[in-house]
Structure 1
Amino acid sequence: MSKKISAESIKELRSKTGAGMMDCKKALEATEGKVDLAIENLRKKGLASANKKSSRIATEGIIESYIHAGSRLGVMVELNCETDFVARQSEFHKLAKNIAMQLAACQFVQYIAVDEVPEEFIVKEIEIEMAKEDLLKKPINVKKQIVEGRIQKRLKEISLMSQSFIKNPEISIEDLVKQHIALLGENIKVRRFQRFILGEGLEKKSYDFTQEVSNMIYNK
């Protein structure tokens, strides 16, 4: 005899995953009411359905912005979906805002995904790593393995989709996007972003306070 699933358990699972009521009920029935296992099952199903949708064209969406406290740092991000209907959904807007905040927090991120990093950047990083002193005396095969590991780590550091989500480090930004693909039923893509840092690129004039005081005295 299967365990009776309470409405409270279904509501709890739905609030944690965003999945439909019937999907939550089935997931809880399959795991005998164990919420953690049900979440895992729904996530697996969600990610699988998200992967199927990832090749579909996404040309609708929104441009979201985030200005950090103090107004010295700002981010704009374009998040695409398939229809204007999804583009108007609060969950989609929340996702865009969270991604913009993530980009503000991770200022070393330069690209959306690892596969978008230019080949010339990778070649240059390999040259730098191969020339490091701690590898000079190592056998070439060992050296190449170490460099490969360092390069992969470096590529993930500069790629948005590889970052741990600042509000839930247990998932990556890629996982977060896929969860919303499963939730909203459409392909979702981060197309581009721009980060603005106040005064970046400007030559800042530096003042010699002592010299300024001297000039004031002797020029009277």
Structure 2
Amino acid sequence: MASVSAKLVKELRDRTGLGMMECKKALVEADGNVEAAIDEMRKSSGMKAAKKAGRTAADGVVAVRVADDNSYGIIVEVNSETDFAARDEGFLGFVGKVADAAFAAKSDDVAALMAGELEAAREALVQKIGENIGLRRISIVEGELVGAYVHSNSRIATLVSLKGASVEVAKDVAMHVAAVNPQVVSQSDMPEAVIAKEKEIILAQPDMASKPAAIAEKMVVGRINKFLAENSLVEQAFVKNPELTVGAMVKAAGGEVASFSRLEVGDGIEVEQLDFAAEVAAQLNNK
């Protein structure tokens, strides 16, 4: 069995809300793998699923560009080390240039886009601001009608492609995607591996052990259907009118949802967090 760091225990505790010793035990049994520990804790305690994407742990902004004819749009995520740098005028100007270049190239190839002038501009900005800065990812959505939404803090941006309806409806759906964060457009889009893992977790929960096989199977089907509905865009209650699903709202406007993309700054990136005392101690030890 592996030993685990206090940092990993804290991360698991923050993500699950469970006790320190329980988190440490789960991590030891999972050989320090946080995601595996979460799965096992869900099986043993019925704990609700933690977001697998991880907590947002990096700064920066997202930016969007949409074609005048709404045939396609792009989102770029550019990261900095601190929120202070993310508000710098030079940094925001660089983000604008990156977004314009990605839109013009209609490409999500980060390495190709950052070759040449943009890389030189990035290096100059790093020297000026004193922080590491980088283009992390680009997302492109194409279709009959593409709408976008950027949250007021410029940390979440979405693109939605509709068949039919209107730009206003596409923007409303994009806002919903930003707020609710669905995984897929419809149930049929959910990967079989995700469904299989969810079923495994449900079957391992304590309340399933004493149930006859037929009843347990019905319970599994019900919980899987609930999971799919909660994570499928067209079946979610529309944030602006919860009496309608997103799918029903779009259909009433004469359209259907084709695809979407959602980028959130720092999603899945982990950075070490030191408390003040630890930071001071580290500085003293380095002297």
Same fold (TM over 0.5): yes
SS of 1:79's equivalent in the other structure is strand
Q: CA deviation at 1:121?
A: 2.0
1:73 partner letter? I
Tell which structure's C-alpha radius of gyration is larger.
1
* Secondary structure at 1:192 match in 2: strand
Distance 2:268 2:145 in 1: 28
Q: Give the TM-score normalised by the residue count of structure 1.
A: 0.60
Report the 3-state secondary structure (helix = DSSP H, G, I; strand = E; otherwise coil) of the residue aligned with 1:206.
Answer: coil
Structure 1, unpaired ranges of 5+: 1-58, 82-90, 182-187
Tell me the equivalent position of 2:273: 206
How many residue pairs end up in the alignment?
146
Given that residues 143 and 161 in structure 2 are in contact (C-alpha distance below 8 angstroms), is that contact kept between their aligned partners in structure 1?
no
Q: Is the contact made by 2:162 and 2:257 (CA closer than 8 Å) also made in structure 1? A: yes
Residues in 1 aligned to 2:143 and 2:184: alpha-carbon distance in whole angstroms: 21
Task: Give the structure-2-normalised TM-score.
Answer: 0.47
Q: 1:98 to 1:137 in 2, by over 3 A?
A: same
- For residues 189-218 of structure 1, the C-alpha deviation after alignment (integer angstroms, 9 at most, x for no partner) is 322211111111323232342244346567
Look up the match of 1:21.
none
Distance 2:216 2:278 in 1: 53
Moved more, 192-201 or 208-217: 208-217
The structural deviation recorded for 1:162 is 0.3
- Aligned residue type for 2:161: E
Which whole-Å deviations, capped at 9, do the CAs of 1:170-202 have from their partners, x for residues lacking one? 111111111111xxxxxx332221111111132
Alignment of 1:117-132 (within 5 A): 117-132=190-205
Match of 1:64 in 2: 147
Aligned to 1:75: 158
Which residue of 112, 115, 134 maps to 2:207?
Answer: 134
Q: Deviations over 1:20-49 (max 9, x none)?
A: xxxxxxxxxxxxxxxxxxxxxxxxxxxxxx
1:144-183 equivalences under 5 Å are 144-181=217-254
**Aligned counterparts of 1:160 and 1:215: Cα–Cα separation in 2:** 46
- Tell me how far 1:61 sits from its aligned partner: 2.3
1:103 pairs, out of 159, 177, 183, with 177
Q: Larger % of strand: which?
A: 2
Map of 2:48 onto structure 1: none
The secondary structure found in structure 1 opposite 2:261 is strand
**Structure 2 counterpart SS, 1:94:** helix
Cα distance in 1 for residues equivalent to 2:149 and 2:258: 16
| 1:114 paired to 2:205 | no
For 1:177, give the aligned amino acid: V
Taking the aligned partners of 1:216 and 1:71, their CA distance within structure 2 comes to 33
SS at match of 2:262: strand
The verdict on how the C-alpha distance between 1:141 and 1:210 changes in structure 2, with shifts beyond 3 A counting, is same
Work out the CA distance in 2 between the residues paired with 1:100 and 1:155. Answer: 20
1:171 partner letter: L
User: What is the letter of the counterpart of residue 153 of structure 2?
Assistant: G
RMSD: 2.2
Q: Which has the higher helix share?
A: 1
Q: Please say if residues 158 and 261 of structure 2, whose CA atoms lie closer than 8 Å, have aligned partners that are also in contact.
A: yes
